[in-house]
Amino acid sequence: MLIAINKAHFPVTVLGPGRRIGIWLQGCSIGCPGCVSRDTWATDAGRNMPLAQLLAWCRDVSGGQLDGVTLSGGEPFDQPLALAALLDGLAQWRTGAGLDFDLLCYSGYPQARLAERHPHILAKLDALIPEPYVDNLPLARLWRGSANQTLVPLSERGRRVYAPYLDAAADTLSKRMQLAVDGRRLWFAGIPARGDMERLEALCKARGLQLDDKSWGRA
């Protein structure tokens, strides 16, 4: 089984509680205006990797010391077979190693559509953040990019872990973005507030760093 991946990182601390593995799937057919992750939109066979390799990386990079796994993108549900297999692999690791991390997934599809088309995938998740990003709605709640997006616990573990955060304000925690440099690529994790990316560009420019291509801003 192959899965198309944009990037993966550990620890991610801005997309769910605790220290998490973050996996961004490649490919999104939704195209929300104002999306800050346009680099994840294209379907790109060059981004395919064996699922077993990704699962081995998860085990190695975290050493089993993780609070959760966050799946984002791109649109994870645009690869339903690979997404289901990834969740199965993560759940098998969790059970086999006696761990208790949670599985959180973002989606730009409405919750009702996911419940209708992918109930078997929702059954594998502990929590879901569905609905498209809406650029003219404010950043209101923690880990959600626009006020229409909800945090939906889907399991007993999900209800336990996410109960304190369902209506938490966007700035409940001390930071909302992480930045990393990978070769000539500067990338971020998290939920930028309106104007954050422009402020980041200005900071880079003030330090002599020219950004040639950006995943944010209107196409």
Q: Which of 171, 217, 212 is nearest to 195 (CA)?
A: 217
Q: Which stretch binds ligand SF4 (CB under 6 A): 70-78, 83-91, 160-168, 179-187?
A: 70-78
Q: Is 188 in the site for ligand SF4 (CB under 6 A)?
A: no
- Smallest separation, CB 150 to ligand SF4 (Å): 15
Q: Are 177 and 191 in contact (CB under 8 A)?
A: yes
Between 66 and 104, CB nearer to ligand SF4: 104
> How far is C-alpha 7 from the chain's CA centre?
10
Question: Would strands 68-72 and 48-50 be described as parallel, antiparallel, or unpaired?
Answer: unpaired
* Of the residues 5, 15, 21, 32, which one makes contact with ligand SF4 according to CB under 6 A: 32
Between 109 and 162, CB nearer to ligand SF4: 109
For residue 43, give every residue at least 6 positions away whose Cβ sits within 8 Å of its Cβ, in sequence order, or none: 4, 26, 27
Residue nearest to ligand SF4 (CB): 108
Q: Are 106 and 132 in contact (CB under 8 A)?
A: no
Dmax (CA) for the chain in angstroms is 50
Q: Is 139 in the site for ligand SF4 (CB under 6 A)?
A: no
Between 67 and 75, CB nearer to ligand SF4: 75
Binding positions for ligand SF4, 74-113, rule CB under 6 A:
74-75, 108
Distance CA 75, CA 52 (A): 21
* Of the residues 6, 26, 40, 70, which one makes contact with ligand SF4 according to CB under 6 A: 40
Binding site for ligand SF4 (CB under 6 A): 28, 30-32, 35, 37, 40, 73-75, 108, 132-133
